[in-house]
Amino acid sequence: MLPDTERTINAEPILDVRNLRTHFFTDRGVVKAVDGVSFQLYPGETVGVVGESGCGKSMTAASIMRLVSHPGRIVGGEILFMGEDLVRKSEREMRRLRGNQLAMIFQDPLTTLNPVLKVGRQITESIRVHAGDDREDGGFFGWLRRLLDPSGRISRKEAWDRAVDLLRQVGIPAPDERMRAYPHEMSGGMRQRVMIAIALACNPVLLLADEPTTALDVTIQAQILELMQDIKEKRGTSILLITHDFGVVSEFCDRVIVMYAGKIVEQAPLDELLDNPRHPYTQGLLASIPRLGDKSHKVRPIKGIVPELHDLPPGCSFSTRCPLADEYCGRVEPELEEIAPGHLVACHKVDATAAGAKGA
Partner 1 sequence: MAEAQAAVSARGGGGGGAPAALERGGLKADFPLLAHFGERLFGKKVRHVHAVDGVDLTVYRGETVGLVGESGCGKSTLARSVLRLYQPTAGSVKFEGREILNLPPAEMRRLRKDMQIIFQDPFASLNPRQTVEQIVGLPLRIQGVPKHEIRGRVLELLEIVGLPPGHIDRFPHQFSGGQRQRIGIARALAVRPKFVVADEPVSALDVSIQAQIINLLERLQEEFGLTYLFITHDLSVVSYVSDRIAVMYLGRIVEWAKTEDLFAEPLHPYTQALLSAIPTVERRGRRRERIILQGSPPTPIDPPGGCRFYERCFLKEKNETCRLVDPELVDLGNGRKVACHAVAGTL
- Determine which residue in the list 131, 181, 287, 324 makes contact with ligand SF4, applying CB under 6 A: 324
Among 164, 319, 343, 344, binds ligand SF4 (CB under 6 A): 319
CA dihedral for 132, 120, 155, 199, sign (positive or negative): positive
Rule CB under 5 A: is residue 58 a binding residue for Mg ion? yes
Parallel, antiparallel, or unpaired: how do β-strands 255-260 and 343-345 relate?
unpaired
**Should residue 126 be labelled a site residue for Mg ion when binding is judged by CB under 5 A?**
no
The amino acid occupying position 63 is: S
Give the contact letters, 44-63, x = binds to partner 1 (CB under 8 A), - = no.
--------xx----------
- Distance CA(238)–CA(264), nearest Å, equals 20
Nearer to Mg ion, 127 or 309 (CB): 309
**Binding residue for ligand ATP (CB under 6 A) from 15, 17, 59, 163?**
59
- Is residue 56 near ligand SF4 by the rule CB under 6 A? no
Using CB under 8 A as the binding rule, the residues of this chain from 167 to 186 that contact partner 1 are 173
Question: Least Å distance between CB 325 and ligand SF4?
Answer: 3
Output the smallest distance, CB 80 to ligand ATP, in A: 21
Residues 129 to 148 in contact with ligand SF4, rule: CB under 6 A: none
3-class state of residue 90 by DSSP:
coil
DSSP output for 34-88? EEEEEEEE-TT-EEEEE--TTSSHHHHHHHHHT---TTEEEEEEEEEETTEEGGG
With contact defined as beta carbons under 8 Å apart, do 20 and 32 qualify? no
Q: Which does 24 bind (CB under 5 to 8 A by kind): partner 1, ligand SF4, ligand ATP, none?
A: ligand ATP
- Our finding on whether 26 is near ligand ATP (CB under 6 A) is yes
Q: Distance between CA atoms of 195 and 203, rounded to whole angstroms?
A: 14
250 secondary structure, DSSP code: H
One-letter amino acid of 223 = Q
Residues 288, 303 contacting (CB under 8 angstroms):
no
Q: Does 29 bind ligand ATP (CB under 6 A)?
A: no
Site for ligand ATP in 221-280 (CB under 6 A): 244
347 lies in the binding site for ligand SF4 (CB under 6 A): yes
Name which of 53 and 90 has its Cβ closer to Mg ion.
Answer: 53
Q: How far is CA 103 from each of CA 21, 130, 283, rounded to the nearest angstrom? A: 21, 12, 32
Pairing of strands 343-345, 102-105: unpaired
Segment contacting ligand ATP (CB under 6 A): 9-17, 52-60, 95-103, 246-254? 52-60
Nearer to partner 1 by C-beta: 116 or 218?
A: 218
Nearer of residues 289 and 354 to partner 1, judged by Cβ: 289
Region binding ligand ATP by CB under 6 A among candidate stretches 56-64, 157-165, 275-283, 351-359: 56-64
C-beta of residue 40 within 8 angstroms of C-beta of residue 13: yes
Could you tell me the smallest distance in angstroms from the CB atom of residue 287 to partner 1?
8
Distance of closest approach, residue 265 Cβ to ligand SF4, in angstroms:
7
Residues 6+ apart with CB under 8 A from 86: 64, 66, 79, 80, 94, 97
Choose between 80 and 287: whose C-beta lies nearer to partner 1: 287
If the CB atoms of residues 46 and 58 are measured against ligand ATP, the closer one turns out to be 58
User: Which residues in the chain belong to E strands, given as ranges?
Assistant: 15-26, 29-41, 46-50, 72-81, 84-85, 102-105, 206-210, 238-242, 255-260, 263-269, 337-340, 343-345
Which positions lie near ligand ATP, rule CB under 6 A?
24, 26, 31, 33, 51, 53-59, 71-72, 244, 309
